[in-house]
Structure 1
Amino acid sequence: MSRLALCALIPALLAPALALSGAPAGRAAPPAPIQSDGLPDLDDETSRTIFFAVLEGLYADGADNDTVDVILRLDPRNGYPELFVYACPICMPAYDAFRVYRQRAEFFNRKSRTDTFGAGLPADVRAQFTAPDRDTRWKALNVLVEGYVQERLAGMRLTEAEQREWRQRMEEGRKKGMSYLIQYQGEQPGVLYPGMKACALCDAANEACEKL
């Protein structure tokens, strides 16, 4: 199968996993921010790069389902992800990558009946994600995703001009994500993302670019 044909199949392959891992039964997805043109799609290079960086990293690490469930957890007060800024153009591709990974199938015809590659996240990293305070989990997510994005970008062998372009893209994404965060906190103080001062994923993506 050609690379072009494989790329054309990706949306169909991902659709079942995304459908299965949507909002809990009986709860509609939160509305997009008022000033948003709509939720980010996976049809632009930046979104796809973030999505596949995170998905590949999770498979390579062999992240366990319990940890992924904690990362994906929704705030019961409002239905928004606890650690991801809803509608943020950097957060949403990463969030969907975690969702797709969580719905992964076992590899076909393997004696070990495995569904991933790595041996699992280190014990200290898993412990950070189960910490009761959100800031500890937020910092753990920042470090994890920064490594995934940095490895993906490094593998692209970007020229200096391309590196500058990616830094600009990620910075623009962070500005949008922060504008949504500020809007949410202003609309429902103490309910939507209380005490969150920055976007973990936006910071991770931008820090990854700075280390190229």
Structure 2
Amino acid sequence: MTWDVLSIIGTVAFAVSGAIIAMEEEYDILGVYILGIVTAFGGGAIRNLLIGVPVSALWEQQLFFNIALLSITAVFLFPTNLLKHWRKWGNFFDAIGLAAFAIQGALYASQMNHPMSAIIVAAVLTGSGGGIIRDLLAGRKPTVLREEIYAVWAIIAGVAIGLGVTKTPLELYTLFIMLVALRVCSYMYRWHLPTKSLGLSK
């Protein structure tokens, strides 16, 4: 049940995120649906390739595809004047998608009895893979590569699940809320990882 709830939350959040960014870039309706679907399922597809799950497993998730399509349709039909507030809420939806999918990906790898390293990679790729593909297709610098902390929160999810710290549904939902809060704080207060410039920019 926890798995399904997290998957639904992540699917809706990332499908909405991809659709709105497509509209910001003035894509046509087909582009909106494609970017929304790619954002929602891209991370899971990459994860499946790396941990040995057939990519065709994605086509068995008809319920989640329907949820993503309905979410994208709702956003596309939403009044334009309300969508202008997206910039205030976009990062929040992205935080929800990151946390939900990072936990889901880590659980996936853990249930397949993969080692800690694979669990962390599954968490990072599932949590941020769709967003990376979305940003690249939209011609933007991927969020995960910015100074602002992003993938670190997915790593925390992988470590917590890999160590068995979070097992029960209550613990998993607590981890989810904590990761969303940390991600929101990281962009509100501009937390960032250390950087080093080579001084080559003009």
Task: Please give the range of the TM-score, normalised by the shorter of the 2 chains.
Answer: 0.3 to 0.5
TM-score, with normalisation over the residues of structure 2? 0.33
| Structure with greater proportional helix content | 2
